């Protein structure tokens, strides 16, 4: 929230700037001028102090009037012997009313109005600051004294692990759904929240994909969780993404349960899994440690009761609670765009209650809640803390991981959204300018770095963020090529995406989205390449190939033959010809030759003429003899050593990841 200048505030209050500066001085705010700016909280304090002074002045004026009235009454009152006149009693009282300030008295109503106005500004500023506080702070469980209105809330459980170790199959078994068969490529590519009920007690599950492309999504899931399940396949053991998941769980500082899956397979090796866990300092309970390890078969639904029991036991120790009467605060788990309903935002409610009709703020987007749905899609009027809910009504999708809060009015929400959108748009314009500048530099030859500009669209924010993160990782692997994501968003590829790509000389990548008719026509007209995918690693593979194709070729000099000069001949119109014997490999017309004499190079250039007997030939193999000539060089001598080289293009590849 912008600060307010002293002269502007004084004008609103109907005061002279000097009067307001004097009050600020009493508050300890020194060295200010009418042009100085103060924050809304200081403005509130100064205005309240002015109001107090005005109230004291009013009371003083009233007391002075009463004194004067008493004096006038005393003149007409008969005084009995031994009694004092009332005027004398008043005169004996020590009373000195504050100095009367007519401006303050007349502006009392205006003061009260501006106190409320500045308090609202300060509150808006506080909300704005909170909105950019780290997720770990805002999304944390409430702590401190538990209010009477607080309720117990279900634990939030995150399932993490390596690709194809059975995370989605486990959730399918728990919630009796069939998500796994619907996933493209057999891997989970979204992050969502769902609920499981065990003997009347709810557990909220956040499913994070295990493919390497979703590291950022796994990290975000671990930040809002109360219990983390590390799933490890009994036949596969600890894998690269398993190690990453362990790091995320430790960074989030949450209790861990290890679920060893696929124990029913013949290749299952529990001892090997435990040994690999020990190498990562995870000590199971049966080996004297404090990590709960449960053996399960998600496919055959074995061991699931034990797993759920352990989750509830750990959650009970944490005493999780939230206050449904507190200010609403939620964390965006996922968002997408529906053609008929617009932005759909899935939120995990951390505190408070959200209801249909509430005005909510999320990043640079805001709106009035039109519909609420639980995790199964059932419409609800309101939803309390600890539960996931899908919200319809925001003007735009909120990015996964952002904080959602309620606002007092549409005016406040719109103002904050416009501020944040302005910052976001300025950043976007700066990015656009940088792209165009780099392109100009590249054309002028001032920049050795080639640009691969991309407009990225996805069906949900989580995938867009993961793809963008992995594209950045690819970009870091080469100094010659820089990947620049000009724009990333959610929803169908639109005509504006195509025009942006055309202006930025970018390609458009769509993940599980399509291009509308107008977008396709615009793509053809503007010659913009549009590629769509269903599996994220196909996107990354294509970009890798594109990067390799953009690399400048590297050529290597390869020795193809050697020869020795036996004698020299002078031929008219040709010059000196060297009679040679090819001692190794071959000589070819047009190759680069290096002539050495006593270990000193006397010529380096092309072999222009190659003859065998009376005929011009293209190649002479060892151990044949031939005559050669080189344009610009006639100083041949017997015994000269000749080496012949050709340029070979070296196939370029991306450096291996560390």
- Is the residue at 538 inside a domain? yes
- The per-residue pLDDT for 382 is 94
100 and 159 within one domain: no
Residues 510 and 562 in one domain: no
For residue 74, pLDDT over 60 is answered with: no
Name which of 384, 386, 359 is nearest 370 in CA terms: 359
Question: pLDDT band at 209, cuts 50/70/90?
Answer: low
φ and ψ at 296, to 5 degrees?
-140, 165
Per-residue model confidence (pLDDT) at position 19: 77
For the chain, the domain total comes to: 5
Does 424 fall in a domain? no
* Residues 351 and 313 both lie in one domain: no
Whether residue 252 is found in the same domain as residue 188? yes
pLDDT-derived band at 213, boundaries 50, 70, 90: very low
CATH number at residue 357: 2.40.30.10
Q: How confident is the model at residue 420 (pLDDT cuts 50, 70, 90)?
A: low
The answer on 571 and 541 residing in a single domain is: no
Q: Which pair of tokens denotes residue 319?
A: 């005493």
Same domain, 123 and 47: yes
**Are the C-beta atoms of residues 365 and 397 closer than 8 Å to each other?**
yes
48 and 102 belong to one structural domain = yes
Same domain, 336 and 246: no
- Mean of all residue pLDDT scores within the chain: 78
Average pLDDT over residues 518-536: 86
> What per-residue confidence (pLDDT) applies to 604?
92
How far apart are the C-alpha atoms of 206 and 222, rounded to whole Å? 9
pLDDT digit string, tens, across residues 247-295:
878 877 789 999 999 999 999 999 999 999 999 889 988 888 889 999 9
Do 166 and 294 lie in a common domain? yes
In the chain, how many H helices and how many E strands?
A: 17, 32
How many whole angstroms separate alpha carbon 291 and alpha carbon 33?
Answer: 63
Same domain, 338 and 269: no
**Backbone angle region of 202, left / alpha / beta, with phi > 0 → left and psi within -120 to 50 → alpha:** beta
pLDDT per position as a tens digit, 477-498: 777 778 888 888 888 898 878 8
SS3 for 218-283 is: HHHHHHCCCEEEEEEECCCCCCHHHHHHHHHHHHHCCCEEEEEECCCCCCCCHHHHHHHHHHCCCC
Q: Is residue 23 within 8 Å of residue 46, measured between CB atoms?
A: yes
- Runs of H (alpha helix) within 27-107: 40-75, 86-92, 102-106
Highest mean pLDDT among 190-204, 359-373, 407-421: 359-373
The two structure tokens encoding residue 27: 């508050």
Which CATH number characterizes residue 544's domain? 3.40.50.10050
pLDDT at 381 over 90: yes
Residue 658 lies in a domain: no
> 160 with 254, same domain?
yes
**Domain contains 326:** no
Q: Domain check: are 202 and 309 in the same one?
A: yes
Domain span at residue 587 reads 555-650
């Amino acid at each position: 929230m912008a600060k307010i200048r002293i002269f502007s505030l004084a004008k609103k209050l109907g005061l002279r700037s000097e009067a307001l500066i004097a009050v600020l001085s009493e508050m300890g705010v020194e060295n200010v001028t009418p042009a100085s700016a103060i924050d809304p909280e200081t403005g509130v304090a100064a205005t309240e102090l002015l109001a107090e002074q005005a109230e004291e002045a009013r009371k003083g004026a009233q007391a002075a009037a009463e004194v004067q009235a008493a004096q006038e009454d005393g003149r007409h009152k008969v005084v009995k012997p031994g009694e004092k006149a009332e005027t004398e009693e008043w005169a004996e009282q020590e009373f000195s009313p504050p100095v009367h300030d007519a401006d303050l008295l007349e502006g009392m109503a205006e003061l009260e109005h501006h106190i409320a106005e500045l308090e609202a500004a300060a509150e808006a500023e506080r909300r704005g600051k909170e909105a950019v506080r780290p997720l770990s702070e805002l999304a944390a469980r409430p702590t401190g004294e538990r209010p009477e209105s607080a309720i117990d809330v279900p634990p939030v459980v995150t399932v993490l692990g390596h690709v194809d170790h059975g995370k989605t199959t486990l959730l399918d078994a728990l919630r009796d759904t069939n998500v796994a068969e619907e996933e493209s490529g057999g891997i989970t590519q979204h992050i969502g929240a769902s609920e499981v009920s065990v003997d009347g007690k709810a557990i909220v599950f956040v499913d994070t994909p295990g493919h390497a492309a979703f590291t950022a999504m796994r990290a975000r899931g671990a930040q809002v969780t109360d219990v983390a399940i590390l799933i490890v396949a009994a036949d596969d053991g600890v894998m690269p993404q398993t190690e990453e998941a362990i790091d995320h769980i430790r960074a989030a500082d949450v209790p861990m349960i290890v679920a060893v899956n696929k124990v029913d397979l013949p290749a299952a090796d529990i001892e090997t899994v435990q040994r690999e866990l020990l190498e990562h300092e995870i000590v199971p309970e049966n080996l004297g440690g404090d990590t709960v390890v449960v053996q399960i078969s998600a496919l055959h639904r074995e061991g699931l009761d034990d797993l759920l029991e352990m989750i509830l036991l750990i959650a009970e120790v944490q005493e999780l609670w939230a206050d449904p009467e507190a200010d609403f605060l939620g964390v965006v788990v996922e968002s997408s765009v529906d053609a008929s309903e617009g932005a759909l935002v899935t939120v995990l409610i951390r505190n408070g209650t959200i209801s249909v009709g509430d005005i909510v703020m999320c990043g640079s987007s805001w709106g009035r809640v039109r519909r609420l749905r639980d995790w199964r899609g059932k419409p609800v009027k309101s939803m309390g803390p600890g539960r996931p809910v899908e919200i319809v009504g925001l003007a735009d999708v909120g990015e996964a991981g952002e904080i959602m809060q309620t606002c007092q009015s549409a005016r406040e929400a719109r103002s904050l959204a416009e501020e944040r959108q302005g910052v976001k748009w300025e950043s976007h314009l700066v990015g656009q300018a940088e792209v165009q500048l780099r392109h100009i530099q590249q054309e002028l030859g001032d920049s050795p770095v080639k640009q691969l500009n991309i407009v990225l669209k996805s069906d949900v924010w989580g995938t867009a963020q993961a793809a963008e993160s992995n594209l950045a990782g690819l970009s870091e692997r080469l100094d010659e090529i820089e990947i620049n994501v000009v724009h990333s968003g959610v929803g169908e590829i639109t005509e504006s995406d195509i025009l942006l790509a055309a202006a930025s000389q970018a390609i458009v990548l769509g993940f599980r989205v399509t291009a509308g008719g107008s977008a396709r026509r615009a793509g053809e007209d503007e010659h913009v390449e549009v590629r769509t995918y269903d599996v994220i690693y196909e996107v990354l593979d294509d970009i890798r190939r594109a990067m390799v194709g953009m690399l400048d070729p590297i050529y290597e000099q390869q020795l193809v033959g050697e020869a020795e000069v036996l004698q020299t001949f002078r031929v008219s119109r040709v010059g000196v010809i060297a009679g040679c014997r090819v001692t190794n490999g071959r000589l070819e017309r047009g190759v680069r030759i290096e002539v050495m004499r006593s270990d000193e190079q006397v010529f380096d250039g092309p072999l222009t003429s190659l003859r065998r007997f009376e005929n011009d030939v293209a190649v002479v193999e060892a151990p044949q003899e031939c005559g050669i000539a080189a344009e610009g060089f006639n100083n041949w001598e017997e015994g000269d050593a000749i080496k012949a080289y050709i340029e070979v293009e070296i196939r370029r590849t991306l450096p291996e990841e560390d």
